[in-house]
Amino acid sequence: MNIHEGHRQRLKERFLKDGLSGFEDHNILELLLFYSVPRADTNEIGHRLLKKFGSLSQVFDASVEELCQVEGIGIHSATLIKLIPQLCGAYSTDKTKNITILNSTKDLGEYFIPRFMGKMDEEIHMVLLDNKNKIVKSEIIAKGSIDTVTFPIRYIISQTISYNATGVVLAHNHPAGVALPSVSDLKMTRRIFEALKLAEVRLKDHIIVADDDYVSLLDSGCFADYDY
């Protein structure tokens, strides 16, 4: 008798009944890998992934190349694993799509955190606001490293004029770090502030996101010596 006979079905039924409550990390990976590994023991593969990367989140943060080095993981499984964080981000972003007014730092955190979920590279986002803090435009304006990417100052100015915005909020992520500003972040923020000031537009805040944490440069006092 095959002791694993029906195991997959039982695990699926357990999830459908109770969700992931009571699932250990290797069980979560085991269940997920049912859909890319049709026959092998995915419980063992889940244990291997956790042993190599150290935690569930680090499994999902690993690169495709690193994942494929684990016995039992091929390109299909690696793709499935990499899909999950970005799928969560897309889901959470969609849940916040009806947010139209950003009145507080809390609003900004709730708005931006989902938009960086699962992102392994740095992105710079811009939100344009009217005089009632209503969003008139939100977009990604740059990707790459905050130290190397060319920050599109002229584009920011042109968009504020085109949309008749009175305020701008910037946000970027630190995928492998903490939500604290670097020297480059502070210099870049100051440059944008001064450029917007010439256009009579206010830089209202710059949010830095790392995982589920965020920091407001305004609340941190980084704008304290700015000449409004």
Domain ranges of the chain: 7-92, 99-216
Q: Looking at the domain 99-216, which fold is it?
A: Cytidine Deaminase; domain 2 (3.40.140)
Instruction: Give pTM, 2 decimals.
Output: 0.83
Contacts of 182 (CB under 8 A, 6+ apart): 146, 147
Per-residue pLDDT at 4 exceeds 70: no
- Separation in Å, CA 228 to CA 50, 113, 200, 213, 221: 51, 28, 10, 28, 14
What is the predicted pLDDT for the residue at 195?
Answer: 93
**To which residue do tokens 């811009």 refer?**
126
Q: How many residues comprise the chain?
A: 228
Question: Fold identical between 7-92 and 99-216?
Answer: no
Q: Which two tokens stand for residue 117?
A: 């979920």
What is the predicted pLDDT for the residue at 103?
Answer: 95
In CATH terms, the superfamily for domain 7-92 is: 5' to 3' exonuclease, C-terminal subdomain (1.10.150.20)
